[in-house]
Amino acid sequence: MNMTITVQNLKCGGCVNTITTKISEMENIREVQVDKETSAISFEYNGPEDAIKVKEKLRKLGYPAVDEKNSLVSKANSMISCATGKF
């Protein structure tokens, strides 16, 4: 199955690298693509629980979906994830 999630706080190539790496490492997730311009993350997954896990992982990394609260903690986490992705 395919899914696209539009997220908040995606700003640069560092964010793209972190998201691509971390989501690609997840079990049952394939073909991860991140569009910096639209803040969309697309991927293939096996079952509904896999999609839920991706959404949770994105939230923990600081990239909550557009329909979720974007707290100060999320913004701080995205800055850390972004910086990590630049290395």
pLDDT of residue 27: 97
pLDDT interval class at 30 (50, 70, 90)? very high
Proportion of the chain above pLDDT 90, given as a percent: 83
Contacts of 11 (CB under 8 A, 6+ apart): 36, 78, 82
pLDDT interval class at 4 (50, 70, 90)? very high
pLDDT interval class at 29 (50, 70, 90)? very high
Work out the angle at residue 83's Cα, subtended by the Cα atoms of residues 34 and 32, and round it to the nearest 5 degrees. 20
| C-alpha to C-alpha distance for 66 and 5, rounded to whole angstroms | 8
pLDDT of residue 87: 77
Please give the model's pTM, rounded to 2 decimal places. 0.92
